[in-house]
Amino acid sequence: MSILKVSRMGHPVLRKKTKALDKATVRTPAIQKLIDDMMETMDEYHGVGLAAPQVHEDIRLFVAALDMARGDEPTPPIALINPEITPIGNEMVDDWEGCLSIPDIRGKVPRHREIKVRGLDRDGERIELRMRGFSARIIQHETDHLDGILFLDRMTAFETLTFLDEYSRYWVKNDDDEEEEE
């Protein structure tokens, strides 16, 4: 496996709508190696998701570490190919996001609290997941990458846009204080 180079904001690959993969292509050695390399790259950079355009690939594929565990066992990361998202309900939640392609920057982004996503798994089999909270946020963020959208594009206000150091110093403490008040 290999650690791949991550494209950064400004590279044209991050602004292109990607191409769907056909089911027969999913199980090829090249795509399977790409999935493994993306998972290793995501882990190396301490990410929770990584989309193909972020590693200079123009295909509808992402990997993600989702909280699907039942009990004490952590769930291994998944690959999701040709994802299609359907919101469940109208509830939107503003929460913090960052991105490996926009290093050291954080901001609050509105996302659907709960979604259903359909696509193919790494074996080319149909998969459907119903996710809420942080896992739903990850799927929406990574699917945006497949459509050439960055989290900054989804922000409705920029008052929360911050560098990671300042986020840790000022915002995390403030968010904890707000939670205690509720």
**Residues that are catalytic:** 142
Amino acid identity at 127: I
The residue assigned the tokens 């050695």 is: 29
Say how many Å lie between the first and final Cα of the chain, rounded: 46
Of 169, 155, 75, the closest CA to residue 110 belongs to 155
* CB of 172 closer than 8 Å to CB of 106: no
* CB of 65 closer than 8 Å to CB of 49: yes
